């Protein structure tokens, strides 16, 4: 048993590709919310082929809210 090796895969954080301004983050948030609304409408109508898109968009919106809040706190200091 001690000779068995198990490989553990770990997720690493995505590196930041681009630094965005607060205004750019807010614009992206508006577009993501519109995308989410369209995805929900498509899901209700049965047109959405992959419903996991809704979850992905929701998580992107949460990340944007976090980034916006961090920028706001950074500006206050």
Query: Would the pTM of this model clear 0.85, i.e. be above it?
Result: no
Residue 50: left (phi > 0), alpha (psi -120 to 50), or beta? beta
State pLDDT tens for residues 32-70: 999 999 999 999 999 989 999 999 999 999 999 999 999
């Amino acid at each position: 048993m001690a000779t068995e090796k198990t490989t553990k895969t770990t997720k690493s954080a995505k590196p930041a590709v681009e630094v965005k301004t607060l205004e750019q983050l807010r614009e992206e948030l508006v577009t993501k919310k519109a995308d989410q609304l369209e995805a929900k409408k498509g899901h209700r109508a049965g047109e959405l082929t992959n419903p996991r898109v809704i979850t992905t968009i929701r998580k992107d919106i949460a990340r944007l809210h976090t980034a916006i809040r961090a920028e706001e706190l950074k500006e206050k200091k």
